Amino acid sequence: MGTVQGSTQQITLSRRLSGIARYVLLAIPLLFLAVFFLLPLGLTILVGFFERAGFWIRPAFTLAAYQAFLGGPRLFVLQRSLFVAAEVTVLALALAYPMAYFLSMHVRPQVTRTVLLLFTVPFVVNYVIRNFSWAYLLSRTGPVNRLLEALHLTAGSLDWLLYSDFSVLVGLISSYMPFMIYPLWLALAGVDRRLIEASWVLGAPPLLTFLRVTLPLSIPGIFTALIFGFVGSFGESAVPIILGGVGYQLMGNTITSALDVLNYPLAAAMSSIVVVVMLLFLAAWYLLFDVPAFLGKIVRWRV
């Protein structure tokens, strides 16, 4: 009897110890993020209100940087960034969704995995070189224009292929669309086939089944994809530099430009605005969609 009691006690003790150890272990990534992520962002927001002191900054509370941004030509860059990022995301989604649908519904997993991996291959090539290749392909005298002329589709070379909104779209879509396929495929592959079959059995035509069953169930994946596309294009700085036209700028470029003259408060203020815009999106995502539910049973165990 006594021995049994002793061992029970031992078990509770070890459970409790392992409980503490567990919390310590699980807190490691959070601590990492608190120090190297939250702290730097806090610093950035703070610096946005500082004033310049020579080439460095001095603690203060001034709105000068925000006034310079909101009252200057850079506000246009913010508008353009929001617009372009939205445009890219929607177009890329329209391209990626049918593909993810096909791969998840009609292709063997073995083959799907290889195809999905093929989408990651271009990313081992430096993005500068990839976008620079686009500049070559789309230039006035480049292969695309020559091909169009050889096929008698165009008379002269098309100017708008390069250094235009079009080329920026090409660069951004080819950079971020592949990132979007993965979450879409994950969400679609996770759709319970029995629901689709049930819909068929109940006599719904394929399109209706898609609209009523598959599409709603894949919405969390769509939103994840939207975020991958939007955040990527919104903060992009290389594509506008390489493929943009006369002074084409997105937020990334204008922040770098302010850093060029060591205007840290202005750079920090613009950075903070970007961060706030992004956090608003995060909040919307989080409130509109039951993210934990999407991310699964894991969370439901506890909540």
Partner 1 sequence: MDEVAARLSRREFLRAAAYATAGASLLRLGPLVSWAGAAAAKKGTLSFADIGVGDPGGDWSKFTNATGWGVNLVAIGNAPSQILNVLIAGGGKGVYDVINIVGGMQKPLVENDLIIPIATSRLPNWGKDAYISEFLSSGKPGFEFIGYKGKIYGVPTVLQGDSFAYLPEKTGQLDSYAALFDPKWKGFVALEDNFTTAGQKTALYLKTNKLATIKDPANMTPGEIRTVIDFLIEKKKEGQFRVIWTSFEQAVDLLTRREVYVMDCWEPMVFAARKKGVSAVYARPKEGYLLWAMAAYIVKNPQRPADREKGAYDLLNFMLDGWYGAKITLLRGYMTNPQAVAYAKANAGDFSAAEAAEVARIHDNVRSKFRLGGTWQNRWPTYVEQYESEWARFKAAPSK
Partner 2 sequence: MKRRVGVGLVAWIYVFSILLFLYLPLVPPILFSLAPVAGGNAPTVHWYGELWRNPVLVTSIKTSLLTGILTALLTPPLGLLAAMGVRELRAPRAVLLLLLMPLFIPGVSMGLGNAFLFRLLNIPPSLWTILIAHVLWALPFAFLIILTAMTTFDPVYLEAAYVHGAGRLRAFLDVELALIAPGITGAATFSFILSLNETVRTGLVQGPLNTVQTYIWSTYLQVGLSPTIYALMSLLILLTVALVLVIRPMMARRAIRVTL
Question: Tokens standing for 132?
Answer: 């620079």
Nearest distance in Å: CB 152, partner 1: 22
**Segment contacting partner 2 by CB under 8 A, of 70-78, 96-104, 146-154, 193-201:** 96-104
Nearest distance in Å: CB 76, partner 2: 18
Binding at 209: pick from partner 1, partner 2, none (beta carbon under 5-8 Å per type): none
Q: Name which of 74 and 271 has its Cβ closer to partner 1.
A: 74
Does 157 engage in binding with partner 2 (CB under 8 A)? no
Cβ proximity of 285 and 291 under 8 Å: yes
Does 63 engage in binding with partner 2 (CB under 8 A)? no
Per DSSP, which regions of the chain are E strands? 51-53, 56-58
Measure the N-to-C terminal CA separation of the chain; round to a whole number of Å: 39
Does 132 engage in binding with partner 2 (CB under 8 A)? yes
Rg of the chain over all Cα atoms, to the nearest angstrom: 26
Binding at 117: pick from partner 2, partner 1, none (beta carbon under 5-8 Å per type): partner 2
Binding at 186: pick from partner 2, partner 1, none (beta carbon under 5-8 Å per type): partner 2
Residues 293, 75: Cα–Cα separation, whole Å: 38
Query: DSSP character for 302?
Result: H
Does 148 engage in binding with partner 2 (CB under 8 A)? no
Closest C-alpha among 32, 57, 81 to residue 269:
57
Q: Name which of 61 and 301 has its Cβ closer to partner 2.
A: 301
**Interface of this chain with partner 2, residues 266 to 285, rule: CB under 8 A:** 267-268, 271, 274-275, 278-279, 281-282
Nearest distance in Å: CB 294, partner 2: 9
Closest C-alpha among 85, 78, 116 to residue 239:
85
Q: What is the dihedral of CA 110, 116, 122, 126, to 10 degrees?
A: -110
Question: Tokens standing for 86?
Answer: 């939205």
For partner 2, how many residues bind (rule: CB under 8 A)?
90
Does 291 engage in binding with partner 2 (CB under 8 A)? yes
Binding at 286: pick from partner 2, partner 1, none (beta carbon under 5-8 Å per type): partner 2
Burial class of residue 43, CB neighbours in 10 A (0-12, 13-18, 19+): exposed
Using DSSP's 3-state secondary structure scheme, residue 125 falls into coil
Does 23 engage in binding with partner 2 (CB under 8 A)? yes
Nearest distance in Å: CB 18, partner 1: 19
Look at the alpha carbons of 185, 131, 275, 95 in this order and tell me if their dihedral is positive or negative: negative
Can you give the binding site for partner 1, defined by CB under 8 A? 54-56, 68, 72-74, 76-77, 132, 135-136, 139-142, 159, 162-163, 241-242, 245-249, 254, 256-263
Among 12, 36, 151, 194, binds partner 2 (CB under 8 A): 36
Nearest distance in Å: CB 10, partner 2: 13
Query: DSSP character for 60?
Result: -
Cβ proximity of 175 and 236 under 8 Å: yes
Q: Name which of 116 and 241 has its Cβ closer to partner 1.
A: 241
Nearest distance in Å: CB 97, partner 2: 11
**Interface of this chain with partner 2, residues 233 to 262, rule: CB under 8 A:** 234-238, 251-252, 255-256, 259
Using DSSP's 3-state secondary structure scheme, residue 21 falls into helix
Residues 251, 237: Cα–Cα separation, whole Å: 7
